[in-house]
Structure 1
Amino acid sequence: MAEATTEDTMSYARRGRSATRPREIPGKGWRDVLVRVKNELSEDKLTMVAAGVAFYALLALFPALTALVFIYGLVANPADVQQQLNTLSGIIPQEAQSLLNAQLSSITAQSPSALGFGVLGSILFALWGATKGMKTLMEALNVVYNEEEERGFLRLNGTALVLTLGAVLLGVLAIGLVVVLPALLGNLGLGESVRSWISLLRWPLLALFAMAGLAGVYRYGPSRSQPQWHWVNWGAVLATVLWVIASFGFSFYVSHFGSYNETYGSLGAVVIFLMWLFITAFIVLLGAELNAEMEHQTQVDTTEGEPQPMGQRRAYVADTVGGSPGHEASERSATRAQYDRAEQRAEAKSSRQSQPTRRETPQKPSAEAYFSTHTSRQPSASAQFNLEQERADEYLSRLGSVAKRHPVPTVLIGIGLTWFWLSHHRPTDMKS
């Protein structure tokens, strides 16, 4: 028994079960992490989730651009935003860049130059429209981290609004680095070599801003206890690097080999833009998967605050230990066996339902059940009428419950049926 315990302890150490930081995970532990990431891509249906995020990102992008131009226009020339977009040629596909340029031209023409209540209201309205894309990304992060949304309406929307505002402010800062900084350097009278070095350093700074923004989304996006910063930085770095490489590759493919315009015609630019958003969303969620499985590899508390025992950290990947290929049984701790969020919710719900809330009284059997158990007796006309009435009442009650759960589709279907009936029963037909 002592030999087995020693062997298990050595196996845990070799796989990083006591790692306090990602860099303390050894090679075998990283193999476990990467294998689980590969498996989670299919189990979480990450491509389908990324497609949903890309769709809502497309809807939220133009309100976000409006907020970006309005905020930047309060301190500088809003036309600089288009100049910043032009510097990204080669990373963003040309067709997507044309779409954004057209939208930015329309927004820039309406951009205010002074702060007022109307401008502030326009900015808040645009930010609120952009939060839908952020909330969709937060829901996708819940899928990645195996969490259920438990935040209230105010906290959920407030978090999404703050994250959206942070993304817009990072965009304003990026525009200042790319467009305003070279102009300032020219006015300072610095040497050519100094200006060249500073101009080159702005691109690594942009990458650092992107990594910081992604780390903030990974930390505050999911509905769970906040992880420590060093457990979200690795995924942010991976996502940033992969996004730059994938964007260059996709832009090169579209400009040299793609045939989207021939296939989709005038919609080719929209399809290309949506594909680029899909690639972006997939890479962002891939970075989140890496962060989640890194936390899943260690038994040490990875959340902020005082260390808590497993099962009390309010985060699935921090409260459980991920399995190793071929070692799932030996790697499962006793605490993990006692803690599974999904099973606990199901057990709690079933126990609440099993508790008697009121004295149950015997119910009268329905007419349909009565006649099914007494097949030898034929129902009378009144009994048959009662049976049909009971079926109709049950059908109407089901329709009522569906209408309560889905009010908007029900109203739309009702309007459609009313229009169909009126279009096929004209007043002349009704009079005749």
Structure 2
Amino acid sequence: MIECWVHKLWYSPPMMAFRRLLKRIYLPGFGGVDLYQVLKFFVTGLLEGYLTTRAASISFSFFLAIFPFTIFLLTIIAYIPIDNFQSELIALLESVVPPKTWVAIDKTLTDIIQIRRGGLLSLGFLLALFFANNGVNAIITSFNATFHSIEIRTFFSQLRASIVLTVVLSIMFITSVTLVIFSETIIDRLEVLDIVSRFESQLLGFAQLIVVLALIFFSITLLYYYGPANRKEHRFFSPGAILTTFLLWLTSYGFASYVTDFASYNQIYGSIGTLIIILLWIYINAIVLLVGFELNASIVHARKTSSSEIELQQVKVSRKGDEKSVENSK
């Protein structure tokens, strides 16, 4: 019954007119393929490409990297040469963390932040790098297991690509976070000192957002270009990277609005609510990352299909021409 209604809807005059419209639309970056062909493969890839399973693998790998990365960040705080920075940070954390949780972590956290430990710093860095590399490796594996094609890289080829991407993406991530934190502080300070007006500070804040989005876009571009095994089929700047950057900004904004209700969420789940929020955020971003790549893979698939159809038509035309030549010679 449902299939019958779907069939009627699909071949209804409005839907047929809509499909004809999509077949006349050619967007930049689609390689000369109409929008209908790309959307056809794109929707198929989303529905049948085990998107959520692949995203779960990526999110779990990156979730494991959070803990050693947190240890690394807390350990490196002791080496920051700013007067009273450590004590002020501890006071800030105490005001944010729930009282019962703070009683449990107070001594350990204070000990890590105030006392320099080179061994723990090195261990935290190596573990964070190892688990982050596992996360990037999971991304590369997911890219090469898309619905449209399954590519297999050699172990050392994938290891080399994942290590290089991990280092580059880590540098860009740290740069983005540093830019967000320090630029907001500097802009607020300039406004307090009346060096810049309110309008100028808003312009600086907008410029900061543009730079951060550009860093995110370039990071995604690197992943989409160097991650797949068939790199030659993908373009460096791609529609998928643009879509992912926009969706990441959109989901981050929406997720931030959702987290404003975190107080009630925390009352239900307790301190573990923070971990649930972080894991959910990583999972959503992993899905968005795969959605953008599926768009690029759909464009490649549609371009291959279109080229094959053109070659087949040329062969048919050539055969007809040969048959006519034979008939004329007779």
- On whether the aligned pair clears a TM of 0.5, the verdict is yes
Are the structure 2 counterparts of residues 213 and 224 from structure 1 closer, same or farther at C-alpha, using a change threshold of 3 Å? same
How far is the alpha carbon of 1:261 from its aligned partner?
A: 5.4
AA matched with 2:309: E
The share of aligned pairs that are identical, in percent, is: 25
Inter-CA distance 286–212: structure 2 relative to 1 (3 Å threshold) = same
Q: Specify the alignment match of 1:288 in structure 2.
A: 293
Q: Corresponding residue for 1:157?
A: 159
1:124-163 deviations in whole A, cap 9, x for unaligned?
44212321111111111111262332223x3322321221
Q: Determine which of 62, 71, 85 is the counterpart of 2:67.
A: 62
Question: Is 2:125 aligned against 1:147?
Answer: no
Label 1:166 to 1:253 Cα distance change in 2 as closer, same or farther (>3 A): same
Structure 2: how far apart are the matches of 1:179 and 1:199?
12
The amino acid that maps onto 1:162 is: V
- Distance in 2 of aligned mates of 1:42 and 1:121: 42
Q: Which has the higher contact order (CA 8 A, sep 6+)?
A: 2
Equivalence for 1:135: 137
Give the equivalent residue in structure 2 for 1:174: 176
Match of residue 273, structure 1, among 275, 278, 281: 278
Give the TM-score normalised by the residue count of structure 1: 0.51
Instruction: State the distance in 2 between where 1:165 and 1:254 align.
Output: 30
Pair 1:194–1:259, CA change in 2 (3 A): closer
Amino acid at match of 1:147: I
Q: Please, what is the CA RMSD of the aligned residues?
A: 4.4
Structure 1 residue 194: Cα displacement: 3.6
Partner of 1:228: 235
Q: CA contact under 8 A between 2:75 and 2:112: conserved in structure 1?
A: no
- Per-residue deviation, residues 318-359 of structure 1 (Å, max 9, x unmatched): xx3269xxxxxx937559xxxxxxxxxxxxxxxxxxxxxxxx
Given residue 236 of structure 2, which amino acid in structure 1 is its aligned partner? W
1:321 aligned counterpart, secondary structure: helix
CA distance in 2, matches of 1:284, 1:297: 20
For 1:232-311, list aligned pairs within 5 A.
Answer: 232=238, 234-253=239-258, 255-256=260-261, 267-298=272-303
Identify the residue that residue 19 of structure 2 maps to in structure 1: none
Q: Tell me, which stretches of 5 or more residues in structure 2 are unaligned?
A: 1-22, 314-330
- Describe the shift of the 1:267–1:198 C-alpha distance in structure 2 as closer, same or farther (beyond 3 A): closer
Amino acid at match of 1:133: G
Could you tell me how far 1:189 is from its partner in structure 2? 8.0
Give the length in aligned residue pairs: 270
Cα distance in 2 for residues equivalent to 1:168 and 1:67: 13
Partners in 1 of 2:185 and 2:204 — Cα distance?
12
Q: TM-score, normalised by structure 2?
A: 0.65
For 2:207 and 2:111, how far apart are their aligned partners in 1?
A: 29
Q: Counterpart of 2:6?
A: none
TM superposition shift of 1:184: 5.0
Q: Residue 112 of structure 1: CA displacement?
A: 8.8
